[in-house]
Amino acid sequence: MKLGVFVSEFEQNEPLDRLKAEKLGIFLVENGIYLGLKPDKMEDAEYYLLSEDLKTRGFDLDDVDSRVKVITYPELTDLIMEEYEKLIWL
């Protein structure tokens, strides 16, 4: 299964440890973007951070961990429609 997970809160990264999928995509949105700035640890997954949420909170691309891909809303739409079979929100 190809699972896409939306993370919108900074504190809610613990459940990520328990998620298993053939392909795991973590979408950092709203306050979840803070997980992509200086993550303590990152699960074996693809990490995406919404650029609009990054800019809204006063950060730029240089603040983002190199393992995290910064994407736009259109790119997010393409990913969830074409790459992931199931989506959840934490």
Q: Tens digits of per-residue pLDDT, 40-50? A: 677 788 999 99
Return the exposure string of 42-73: e unless at least 16 CB atoms fall within 10 Å of the residue's CB, then b: eeebbbbbbbebbeeeebeeeebeeebebbee
pTM: 0.88
Q: Tens digits of per-residue pLDDT, 2-30? A: 999 999 887 655 677 778 888 999 999 99
3 state DSSP class of 54? helix
Please report, rounded to a whole number, the percentage of residues in the chain having pLDDT higher than 90. 60
Domains of the chain and CATH, by start: 2-89 (3.40.1260.10)
Q: What is the pLDDT of residue 4?
A: 93
Please provide the DSSP assignment of 5-30 as one string: EEE--TTTTGGGGG---SEEEEEE-G
